[in-house]
Amino acid sequence: MKMSTGKINRSVIFLAATFLLLPAASLPSGVEEQAEPLPSYRYIMVYGSGDLAVGDVVEFFAPEETLCGRFVVDEEGGYGLMAVYADDPQSVAVQEGAREGDYLTIRVNGREVYPVGGPPVWENEGETRRIDL
């Protein structure tokens, strides 16, 4: 039995699309895959408590949606110690993180959460801060 070229091409395209889309389909609802934060020599350290389960992903974002920090919860009820990076002003082409005075957005498993005490501000480089969710 001879297969036409059209059937072979459609089969190859279907298989390729299935394998390319499979990883995205396995993500939990509402969680988008993000690149890792870009480290810089400027950072603050954060930790805190909240309604967190092992495996939850806590992320901090600068106003431009730049991922500044990520922590995968390894002990129920808390997160951290996590570096939240600032932008390196010398690297003009890349924004590594927040700028001094930026309000940070926090997401747990892709959903925005509002920390106790209001949104944190990136300031006081090198500081360690408790931010409860």
In a domain, 11, yes or no: no
Amino acid symbol at 33: E
Residue 93 included in any domain: yes
10-24 per-position pLDDT tens digit: 543 433 343 433 343
Domain count, the chain: 1
Render pLDDT for 47-88 as a digit per residue (tens, 0 to 9).
999 999 999 999 999 999 999 999 999 999 999 999 999 988
Read off the pLDDT band of 123 (50, 70, 90): very high
Domain that holds residue 99: 43-130
Q: What is the CATH number of the domain that holds 81?
A: 2.60.40
Residue 84 lies in a domain: yes
HEC sequence for the chain: CCCCHHHHHHHHHHHHHHHHHHHHHCCCCCCCCCCCCCCCCCEEEEEEECCCCCCCEEEEECCCCCEEEEEECCECCEEEEEEEEECCCCCCCCCCCECCCCECEEEECCEEECCCCCCCECCCCCCEEECCC
Q: Is residue 22 part of a domain?
A: no
Q: Looking at per-residue confidence, does 36 or 56 come out higher?
A: 56
pTM for the predicted model, two decimal places = 0.72
